[in-house]
């Protein structure tokens, strides 16, 4: 599956040159890891965000989101954000910050 290179580039621009961030192809798309833990990713033209189990309900209450269900088993703590909900840079930045914030609280891999 291809992924939206434009969205990936917007994420890269937000993350800057932080040495804690790496990229890895996974889930048929591109993932951005913070200290080895997945924070956000691009699958098709959508973004996956690791928000954590305690923030799942609040994330799902936002427009354009659904639970990440890649294998037929919904993954609590992960959401998919649809492309229209990412059109504004501030919204994209907020999702990236949320994913990185959660990943930063996990042990480094």
Alpha-carbon distance of 55 to 45, in angstroms, equals 23
- Residues 45, 4 contacting (CB under 8 angstroms): yes
By C-alpha distance, which of 45, 60, 37 is closest to 68?
60
46-84 tens-digit pLDDT? 999 999 999 999 999 999 999 999 788 888 899 999 999
Q: What is the pLDDT of residue 28?
A: 87
What is the model's pTM?
0.94
Q: Tell me the percentage of the chain whose pLDDT exceeds 70.
A: 99
Alpha-carbon distance of 94 to 11, in angstroms, equals 11
Give the DSSP letter string of 53-73: GGGHHHHHTSTTEEE--SSSS
Domain that holds residue 18: 5-104
- Is 70 exceeded by the pLDDT of residue 39? yes
Predicted confidence band at 1 (pLDDT cuts at 50, 70, 90)? Answer: low
- Is 80 exceeded by the pLDDT of residue 102? yes
DSSP assignment, residue 7? H
Task: Report yes or no on 74 lying in a domain.
Answer: yes
Give the count of domains, the chain: 1
Q: CATH no. for residue 37?
A: 3.90.1150.30
Q: What is the pLDDT of residue 55?
A: 96
**What does pLDDT average to over the chain?**
95
- Is 80 exceeded by the pLDDT of residue 96? yes
Task: Report yes or no on 109 lying in a domain.
Answer: no
Task: Report yes or no on 39 lying in a domain.
Answer: yes
């Amino acid at each position: 599956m291809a992924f939206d290179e434009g969205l990936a580039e917007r994420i890269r621009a937000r993350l800057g040159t932080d040495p804690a961030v790496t990229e890895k192809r996974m889930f048929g798309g591109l993932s951005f890891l913070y200290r080895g833990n997945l924070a956000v990713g691009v699958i098709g033209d959508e973004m996956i965000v690791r928000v954590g189990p305690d923030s799942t309900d609040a994330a799902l209450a936002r427009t354009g989101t659904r639970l990440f269900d890649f294998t037929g088993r919904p993954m609590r703590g992960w959401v998919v954000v649809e492309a229209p909900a990412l059109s504004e840079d501030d919204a994209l930045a907020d999702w990236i910050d949320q994913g990185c914030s959660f990943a930063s609280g996990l042990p480094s891999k």
